[in-house]
Structure 1
Amino acid sequence: MENSTPKGHPKGLYLLFTTEMWERFSYYGMRAIFTLFLIKALMFDKETASGIYGSYTSLVYLTPIIGGYFADNIWGNRKSIFVGGIMMAIGQLFMFLSASVYQNQSLALILMIVGLTCLIFGNGFFKPNISTLVGQLYAETDKRKDAAYTIFYMGINLGAFIAPLLCGFLGERYDSAGEAIPGAFKWGFLCACIGMIISVITFEMRKNKVLVTPEGEPIGVVPNVQRLSADQMGEAQTGKKSKNNIYIGVLVGMILLVLLRFFVFMAEDESTIDMVNNYISSAIFAISISIPLIIITDKSLSKIEKQRIWVIFIVAFFVIFFWAAFEQAGASLTFFAAEQTNRDILGFSMPASWFNSFNAVFIVLLAPLISILWTKLAKKNLEPASPYKQAFGLLFLALGYVFIAIGVDGVEPGVKVSIIWLTGLYFIHTIGELFLSPIGLSMVNKLAPVRFASLLMGVWFLSTAAANNFAGFLSSFYPDPVLNATEVRALEKEFTTNTYKCYLVADEVKTATIADTVKVIDEKGKAVEVKFSDIKFDRLLPEVKNKEDKKTIEANAKLIQEKKIEFAKRAVNKKKSFLGIQITDLKSFFWLFVYLAGGSAVILFLLSKLLVKMMNGVK
């Protein structure tokens, strides 16, 4: 059996590798400058820009459900990929046009919404279908599949690494005063558009030559449902009516849910951004329940097919915990990089955002090694089944947080730690990602019934959408030093005498580190960031009369500074809790993810034996 496995990989794999690399170049290139464009060109505040960005990235992982359904039942994989690629190229073009007329904010906003809509739906048609084609290049029993998805995954990260460097270089420009040049963002979006066009052209030029089965038959040409045998086709038709009824029920249910959320938000007087975010969370929640329900209740499914689909659903649930912890890279870990990581390298202060490229670099370096590992283990019949691999992926994620928790143990707010701790975390997380993400893509491809292949790939990506929402919630527990106005006023009162008074200057102050700043909640509930030095201890008398008064002022000023630092530490140590886990400092915050990821790893590992049995011979 060992000798029956062909050497190397089909040429089609490298076409899909290149196509996906350029598509990811387009996506990550646009994403690298998107929020800067919102703030610097369209003049949104950071809160609004963050809300738009979060809504966009969540919806990107919802639409693969639609793209998967179209490929399975209407267009086939190839046409879906082509349509998705064209839509994304058009979307990037509209982003370019939006940035070109940024002075006219209303027109720029309309063009941007059109662009984002095209990008969201284009990604839905493109992403699940190109992933599905990878598996179709191989025979069902071919042991090279996991290695193939690992190579494919390396293409994703190669594009993700290059894109911010080039698109960011073109789009993020500054004048002599250090202010961003709003008109430059269009060139970054145009670069992303060109990347998407290259992706489509590359795919269309080579698809007919290399996208074939081991027997030489073309793949992805017809809808997956047409690849069924006569018996399977009859089974599919049997459950068609019941499936349509479920779709109608789900549609009605989602409309009612949206209406309910709307009236609740109106009653609570929620902000627009909160309303949008909660709408998206509601949609993800509804779809996360409804789509699996639609699939698993299809009467055409055999007992074995249902068991295999349940494996996909169960593992997808645990994957939510993986990505919720992993995606802290764009949230709390970025805060940590900016505030408490020493980024000075040979006199150069590395931007905190550059840490986001570390994962892509490690993927490119480690993916070939992991691919070789799976191939060698497969030849010796020692390769673990997919659920075990993904349990190990969660375990590596937990170990990454253990590593950084050690680095911040006993570290006071504002004290910067070595770059080695955050770098080490990303290195360990990358190993975990390679154990989980490409293996998951391969697992879905191997377990999904042909007629549901792309739809179930969309379900897999849906777990990432849910995880992104969860990641934002967990990031809110990041221990940020915040003083309550009442405490500040108490401090003022404590050191107010007939001669001296301590008071707060709440003017806007631009600062960079927690060591020099503190956030104060004023009486209106607004967070104001001020320097410690702006909480002043001063004389009410116009002048110092003698040296003794001067010494008294200096002594009390020193005492006030100590009090301010004490308040800052006390604010950091205010207790927060999640599921009974007390979060008082950075160490306990990082241990929260150790518990979530580590606990998920243990449970998934214990379930793996049962899951392997439910896979009915598929490894």
Structure 2
Amino acid sequence: MVYVMIFCVSIGLGLQKTGALIGRIVTDKDQVDSAFSIRYTLVNTGAFIGTFLVGILYKDVFAKNGVLGFAPCFKLAAVSMWLGALWFFVLGNRFMGEVGKKPFKFEKTAEELEREKAEKAAHKEEAKDEPLTKVEKKRIAAIFLVAGFSVIFWIFWNLAYLPVYYYWTENMNWVVAGYEVPTTWFDAANSIFCVILGPVMAMLWRKLAARPQGDMSLFKKTGIGIGVLGVSYIFFAVLDVMRGGAKISVLWLLIFSFILTLGEMFFSPLGHAFISKYSPSRYLSTMMAVWGIATFISSLAYGPLFSATFEGGFKFSSVCIAIAVVAFISAVVLFVLDKRLSKLVEDEDEVEA
């Protein structure tokens, strides 16, 4: 039944195209990163409410005779999702207009329409299955490349959760003001920081985009995000050394969660924005799926990596420092190769102009 649940979740996520829809609603490329940062805030508003309330519900409200109340929580989640689907169907047509009613290949971007217009002006016959242009091929390659770096990012990001559940649960004091803090509140902390940082990052991207030299490339933003993740592991190492074998307060995890979330906000919301900007319309959904495949690979990898490192008999702080070093090296590589990588998404005609 667990695998049936996973299958249903996968189908639901596969059909959920809100990222691609936003990429068509917001047509100004300079505003796309900001739009996806705001979307990330809205998504994590629900994530915060869910993880915060569930921590209380399964442990304190629905628990009976020593059995934790997970079943009622799942029922509540099911009702919430059905209400969300009803909300979308009722208000979608009213506020979203024609966006999303047709396959994305029929909703071309302004750049694609301009190119098509130029081809018609040159008396070129329009083929039913237009071949990819050189620029489009390079942009698809860039999407695969960014997805590859996202594997590294998400391995480190997901890996950071496991020490919280399997190391710090034993080496931290989880009682605050007489109340035992549910472990789900660590997820809630990440969500609330996403909610807070979303508008801040949106304003930052908008301000950077308004500069004469334009915004930073996604490759640099990814580098910063991976670098910040490295800092979070350094913080873990410092905590372990600082405690000296004693238990420290779970409140320290708030600082760790903030650093982790800051790294996430430099990268995660912008992946879909990058795909929306540069994917050919007829392959937009497919390119979004590439992002999902990268998440799948990282989800497979971080468990065995945890077993080989944190559970491999090595010192906790040493493992954290080693992971941080790998993260810093990855960030430096992205910064050094930024110009070469950025050329993959540039329109050669615009560059020559």
**Whole-angstrom CA distance in 2 between matches of 1:305 and 1:415:** 57
In the alignment, which residue of structure 2 is the partner of 1:158? 45
In the alignment, which residue of structure 1 is the partner of 2:21? 133
Question: Which structure is larger by alpha-carbon Rg, 1 or 2?
Answer: 1
Say if 1:408 and 1:417, in contact at 8 Å, map to a contact too.
no
Letter in 2 for 1:143: D
1:143 partner SS: helix
1:316-343 Cα distance to aligned partner (Å, 9 max, x none)? 1111111111112442232222011232
Question: Is residue 340 of structure 2 the alignment partner of residue 594 of structure 1?
Answer: no
Query: Percent identity between the aligned chains?
Result: 29
In the alignment, which residue of structure 2 is the partner of 1:249? none
Say if 1:406 and 1:587, in contact at 8 Å, map to a contact too.
yes
Instruction: Quote the offset at 1:351 in angstroms.
Output: 3.0
In the alignment, which residue of structure 2 is the partner of 1:324? 155
With normalisation by structure 1, the TM-score equals: 0.50
Change (3 A) 1:455 1:235: farther
Instruction: Quote the offset at 1:477 in angstroms.
Output: 3.4
Question: Is residue 234 of structure 2 the alignment partner of residue 437 of structure 1?
Answer: no
Change (3 A) 1:337 1:417: same
**Whole-angstrom CA distance in 2 between matches of 1:479 and 1:379:** 44
Structure 2 counterparts to residues 54-203 of structure 1, below 5 A: 109=1, 113-126=3-16, 129-139=17-27, 141-172=28-59, 173-175=62-64, 177=65, 179-180=66-67, 184-203=69-88
In the alignment, which residue of structure 1 is the partner of 2:216? 384
Say if 1:334 and 1:353, in contact at 8 Å, map to a contact too.
no
Instruction: Quote the offset at 1:418 in angstroms.
Output: 4.0
Letter in 2 for 1:585: K
Question: Is residue 346 of structure 2 the alignment partner of residue 616 of structure 1?
Answer: yes
Structure 2 counterparts to residues 392-431 of structure 1, below 5 A: 392-409=224-241, 415-419=246-250, 421-431=252-262
2:308 partner SS: coil
> Which structure ranks higher in relative contact order (CA pairs < 8 Å, sequence separation ≥ 6)?
2
Instruction: Quote the offset at 1:597 in angstroms.
Output: 1.7
Change (3 A) 1:374 1:472: same
Say if 1:167 and 1:189, in contact at 8 Å, map to a contact too.
no
Instruction: Quote the offset at 1:234 in angstroms.
Output: 5.3
Structure 2 counterparts to residues 10-89 of structure 1, below 5 A: none
In the alignment, which residue of structure 1 is the partner of 2:89? 204
Change (3 A) 1:394 1:114: closer
Say if 2:154 and 2:295, in contact at 8 Å, map to a contact too.
yes
**Whole-angstrom CA distance in 1 between matches of 2:176 and 2:53:** 22
Say if 1:390 and 1:440, in contact at 8 Å, map to a contact too.
no
1:390-425 Cα distance to aligned partner (Å, 9 max, x none)? 11111111111112212222755x532343543222
Structure 2 counterparts to residues 516-531 of structure 1, below 5 A: none
Say if 2:220 and 2:335, in contact at 8 Å, map to a contact too.
yes
Instruction: Quote the offset at 1:168 in angstroms.
Output: 5.0
Letter in 1 for 2:303: G
Say if 1:343 and 1:349, in contact at 8 Å, map to a contact too.
yes
**Whole-angstrom CA distance in 2 between matches of 1:387 and 1:435:** 10
In the alignment, which residue of structure 1 is the partner of 2:106? 226
**Whole-angstrom CA distance in 2 between matches of 1:344 and 1:475:** 26
In the alignment, which residue of structure 2 is the partner of 1:257? none
Q: How many residues align?
A: 333
Letter in 2 for 1:461: G
Say if 1:167 and 1:192, in contact at 8 Å, map to a contact too.
no
Change (3 A) 1:158 1:611: same
**Whole-angstrom CA distance in 2 between matches of 1:592 and 1:134:** 38
Letter in 2 for 1:600: S
Q: For structure 2, which runs of at least 5 residues remain unmatched after alignment?
A: none
Letter in 2 for 1:174: A
**Whole-angstrom CA distance in 2 between matches of 1:358 and 1:170:** 17
Instruction: Quote the offset at 1:586 in angstroms.
Output: 1.1
Change (3 A) 1:325 1:115: closer
Say if 2:38 and 2:202, in contact at 8 Å, map to a contact too.
yes
